[in-house]
Structure 1
Amino acid sequence: MFERFHEDARQTVVLAQEEALLFDHDHIGTEHLLLALLRQPGTVPATVLARHGLEHDDVGDRIGRLVAAAAPDDLDASALESIGIDLDAIREKVEATFGPGALDREPRSRRDRPWRVGGRLPFTRRAKKVLELSLRESLALGHNYICGGHILLGLLREGEGLAAKVIADAGVDFDTLRQEIRAELG
């Protein structure tokens, strides 16, 4: 499938990895694909999304807030207690096994992480699905290549990843966005 990728689609994959690393993530998700599309001014995705008020820095901030809100550090201890999980007891057991402050250590450097095999981050299941759907979108439009516009159509068609949530939360209508992208792609 990657042999069909136009230069901007290839650049999207490269930039998505950079975006994931900037967030210190161990994967490439739909949110990183969206940010990568927005980092390419003058392309169909960046132009169409900008018309709907979606700019790279603002989207990055929204994603950062959503990711932080979902982080395990932000879990409500009383909610966990209500289902029988005592965080203090867990901390005591971990520290008894691994030493005081074991849960407070900084994460290893990126170079030391086992998931970074060959310098590439793995795609999440949803991100892989988006890339597969971008091929389907390309074929549906009668194109023999995949460009950034097709990837954005794939993001919309997948519809459940963090990228889709950010677009929906911005009040953008998916059907309108699809029509605009398709019109731009010809």
Structure 2
Amino acid sequence: MFEFFTERAKRAVVASQDEAIALGHDFIGTEHILLGLAGTEDSTAWEVLTAQGIELNRTREETVRLLEAAGVPSSGGQPAKDALASIGIDVEEIKRQADSSFGPGAFQYPRPAYTPHAKQALEFTLREAKALGHERFGTEHILLGLLAAGEGRGLAVLAALGADPADLRAAVLAKVAPETP
């Protein structure tokens, strides 16, 4: 599926993974996808979000606030690291060696997994692109997929920031499927 993503859409997906890791989460939720979109400058989703007052730092702050309020830990994958340590594997030493050999950030463990809501949003990305007759998936389709999924903390973050999903959807569609005279 990812081979059909545009370069900006791929950057947004990677940015969502990076956001999850940076926040110490061992999962990628719709909130992380939203952060990836909000951080992919000069993309259609970024333009729409910015026009609606949704910018990366505020989105990150609200994400952290909502997750902390929900009691979601920022474990950084500590349970998996502890399990490996119990059999004599030092994940931090592996990270140091990988960073030394391949450059900083070359090794990330554990790799976060997508939540069911995030997977659903990415599945809706495909549907949204196909419904518009597009063969490639851009950030606009990811945002439409996130909105169409109708569930997940990404929508809660948008609501907390005062964004209306219907308005966001209309703004995206106005950019990618303008009405012809």
TM-score, length of structure 1 as denominator length: 0.74
Deviation, structure 1 residue 118: 7.6
RMSD: 2.6
Aligned equivalent of 2:120? 129
What is the match of residue 173 of structure 1? 164
Task: Give distance in 1, aligned partners of 2:72 and 2:13.
Answer: 28
| 1:109-148 CA distance string (max 9 Å, x none) | 5982679998632111010101000000000100001111
| Residue 20 of structure 1 pairs with residue 11 of structure 2 | no
* Structure 2 residues not aligned, in runs of 5+: 85-106
Name structure 1 gaps, 5 residues minimum. Answer: 74-105
Q: Write the distance in 2 (CA, Å) between the matches of 1:42 and 1:71.
A: 34
Aligned equivalent of 2:81, options 100, 112, 130: 112
Aligned equivalents of 2:165, 2:76: Cα separation in 1 = 38
CA 12–72 in structure 1, closer or farther in 2 if over 3 Å, else same? closer
Look up the match of 2:104.
none
Name which of 147, 166, 173 aligns with 1:182.
173
**Number of matched residues?**
154
Shift of 1:2: 1.5
Which structure: larger Rg? 1
Question: CA 1:121 to 1:10, structure 2 compared with 1: closer, same or farther past 3 Å?
Answer: same
Give the share of equivalent positions with the same residue, in percent. Answer: 38
Equivalent position of 2:47 in the other structure? 47
* Other-structure match for 2:3: 3
More helix by share: 1
TM-score (norm 2): 0.76
CA displacement 1:128-180 (0-9 Å, x = unmatched): 10100000000010000111110000111112211111112222222221111
Q: SS of the counterpart of 2:40?
A: coil
Give a deviation string over 1:62-86, Cα, whole Å, max 9, x none: 111111111178xxxxxxxxxxxxx
Contact 2:52 2:163 in 1 (8 A): yes
